[in-house]
Amino acid sequence: MRTIALVKRVCIQMVRDKRTLALMMVAPLVILTLLHFLLSSDTTTPKLGVNGVEESLINELKEKEIEIIQYDQLKNPDQLIKDENLDAILQLEGDQIDLTITNDDPSKAKVLQTKVLQAISTVNASEQATNLANLVEDIGRQLPNTPIYLPQAKVPEFNTSYIYGSSDTTFFDQLSPILVGFFVFFFVFLISGIGLLRERTTGTLDRLMATPIQRRDIVFGYLIGYGFFAIIQTIIVVFYATKILDIMLVGSLWNVILINLSLALVALLLGILLSAFANSEFQMMQFIPIAIIPQVFFAGILPFEGMPEWMQLVAKCMPMYYGGNALVDVMYKGLGLSDIKNELFVLLGFALVFIVLNILALKKYRKI
């Protein structure tokens, strides 16, 4: 009964607080949209200055979507790159190949370098094939009546197939499941934490302790009250991400919602738990770099296998690690419920532990 009274009150307060409601419902969508367009936009075609490069190689490079600008002579490539705003300069002199790269964006530089190398080796391979064919023809002419069979040298055909995703997969596709989960986690944390904090700072929590309400009534009242809004938020975010932004979703939408709801539950409880250790909204904000931001690093953005062992242990203490992994499994890899059930159980375990800790933390206000 008392829990219901609390749920009702939390809901009225939330609905009246339009700004907070908007922050919870709209802010994640805005950020997701921004990131979507930032991360999945096509990379601009790189500009390559060339000097002394044969026509065949230039064609090969153009085929790889590189813009070619030819220079007859090059005195000072470093200066030219800066002046002409090029990404790289390729110079060929005899057997010597010089590639000068700006490297202002290392990942783009790597891609460009790989493309240039591929182009050169393709051209070389076909040149050699032609040379070989010519050689065979020569020998054939010099040694008449000697049949020479040489299988036509061909540039081998190269096929790439992908287990997860496709050649069109962008960084955003792999990142977005984690981001969806993270934003649900972050905003639910923030709003529920500040909600209970306000109750503490205005003295109403203290005042509640003079009524026969039980500590667990308070925890469950907040859990259900804010949980209601967290559910709505989760559903909005997931639908927006998958239906409107068209983020890659290979697995089941329901599993995605299930994972995000578990994450929201953990975030909600963590928020109200940490609010016990904050005396103001500002102090609540101070928990963000400590308790929230690190989670995103361990959620699958950085490769887990590459971490030192102790970091892997840290990762395993973070709810986002399980949430992020499960979301990538479902959205990107298309795995099913049986593959993510362990992660879900761990998240529920976190929730249970946080419920107990919350009830204990309220002991600060009343012993019974």
Partner 1 sequence: MTSTIVLEQVSKSFGKKTVLNNININVDAGQIFGLIGPSGSGKTTLVKIIVGMDHPSAGQVQVLHTQVPNLGLLQSIGYMAQADALYNDLTGKENLAFFASLYKLNKESQKKRIAYAADLVELTPHLTKKVQNYSGGMKRRLSLAIALIHDPPILILDEPTVGIDPELRKSIWEEINRLKNNGKTILITTHVMDEAEKCDQLAMVRDGEIISNGSPKDLKNHYNINSLEEVFLKAGGKKHENNRIS
Q: What residues make contact with partner 1 under the rule CB under 8 A? A: 1-2, 4-5, 8-9, 12-13, 16-17, 202-204, 206-214, 365-368
CB atoms within 10 A of CB 222: 24
Using CB atoms within 10 A of its CB, is residue 28 exposed (0-12), middle (13-18) or buried (19+)? buried
Q: Rank residues 6 and 340 by Cβ distance to partner 1 and give the closer one.
A: 6
Greatest CA span in the chain, whole angstroms? 113
Give the C-alpha distances (Å, rounded to integers) separating 107 from 22, 86, 300, 304, 306: 37, 16, 19, 20, 19
For 310, residues 6+ apart whose C-beta sits below 8 A from its C-beta are none
Q: Rank residues 11 and 253 by Cβ distance to partner 1 and give the closer one.
A: 11
Q: Rank residues 6 and 249 by Cβ distance to partner 1 and give the closer one.
A: 6
Q: Rank residues 2 and 64 by Cβ distance to partner 1 and give the closer one.
A: 2
- Minimum CB separation of residue 219 from partner 1 in Å reads 15
- The candidate with the shortest Cα–Cα distance to 219, out of 48, 357, 102, is 357
Query: Is-contact 316 230, C-beta < 8 A?
Result: no
Query: Is-contact 39 207, C-beta < 8 A?
Result: no
For 339, residues 6+ apart whose C-beta sits below 8 A from its C-beta are 329
- Minimum CB separation of residue 273 from partner 1 in Å reads 21
- Minimum CB separation of residue 202 from partner 1 in Å reads 6
Q: Rank residues 4 and 348 by Cβ distance to partner 1 and give the closer one.
A: 4
> What is the chain's Cα-based Rg?
30
Instruction: Please give the DSSP secondary-structure letter assigned to residue 329.
Output: I
- Minimum CB separation of residue 236 from partner 1 in Å reads 24
Beta bridge partners of 70: 50
- Minimum CB separation of residue 101 from partner 1 in Å reads 59
**Token output for 273:** 């738990």
CB atoms within 10 A of CB 350: 22
Q: Rank residues 212 and 306 by Cβ distance to partner 1 and give the closer one.
A: 212
- The candidate with the shortest Cα–Cα distance to 173, out of 181, 165, 163, is 165
Please, what is the end-to-end C-alpha distance for the chain in angstroms? 19
- For residues 368 and 364, give the distance between their C-alpha atoms in angstroms, rounded to a whole number: 10
Q: Rank residues 46 and 195 by Cβ distance to partner 1 and give the closer one.
A: 195
- Minimum CB separation of residue 359 from partner 1 in Å reads 14
- Minimum CB separation of residue 228 from partner 1 in Å reads 17
Q: Sign (positive/negative) of CA torsion 54, 58, 59, 60?
A: positive
- Minimum CB separation of residue 213 from partner 1 in Å reads 5
- Minimum CB separation of residue 19 from partner 1 in Å reads 12
Q: Rank residues 33 and 214 by Cβ distance to partner 1 and give the closer one.
A: 214
Query: Is-contact 184 259, C-beta < 8 A?
Result: no
- Minimum CB separation of residue 180 from partner 1 in Å reads 31
Q: Rank residues 333 and 366 by Cβ distance to partner 1 and give the closer one.
A: 366
> Rounded to the nearest 10 degrees, how much is the dihedral formed by the CA atoms of 169, 175, 181, 184?
-110
Q: Rank residues 212 and 303 by Cβ distance to partner 1 and give the closer one.
A: 212
- For residues 14 and 198, give the distance between their C-alpha atoms in angstroms, rounded to a whole number: 12
